Homo-oligomer: A and B are copies of this chain.
Amino acid sequence: MPYGGAEKDRQRSEKIMNEKRKTGYLIKTVSDILGREANFMLKEQDLTWAQSRLIGFLTRNGGERTQKEIENFLEVSHPTVVGIVSRMEQNGFVTCRTDQTDRRNKIVSLTEKSMDAGRTMWDMLKRQDEIMFSGFTAEERDRLDEYLLRIYDNLNSMH
């Protein structure tokens, strides 16, 4: 339902196929749609896709982690993490304090509010996952992951 540029033409697959270097743009396009849909579903909880991923990470890791660890996990630049954490702190989803054993570290902790949100959040994202992969066999899903990881490694080995 967000950004309805889709309804109009049902032949966009062909359109994309006609573009050279299609695969990279395809990945980008699918990524955009995923984020758009996730944000639409999560809007009700006052969350975003990136924020939900941070909640998931903290939930699976004792409820609090360093901002640096968050950065390593999300694989985004540190100013991006600063922004996400700031907005979530503003909205009461996390609290922050400085690590007293190493005052360079900023420890980010989940709040009750985010733990509550995390539960319903999970169902929404699972539903998206099911739609996304409807018609896929387990082997196909695995093969897709394998391909993406190989591309991921190829790109990272550039440097």
Contacts and interface: CB of A to CB of B under 8 A. Distances in A.
Nearest to A140: B147
A143 B141 CA distance: 12
A149 interface: yes
A85 to B, nearest CB: 16
Contacts of A4: 159
Contacts of A34: 24, 27-28, 155
Given A13-B149, A30-B152, A24 B132 contact: yes
Interface of A: 1, 3-9, 12-13, 15-17, 19-35, 37-38, 53, 56-57, 71-73, 75-77, 125-126, 128-129, 131-136, 140-141, 143-145, 147-156, 158-159
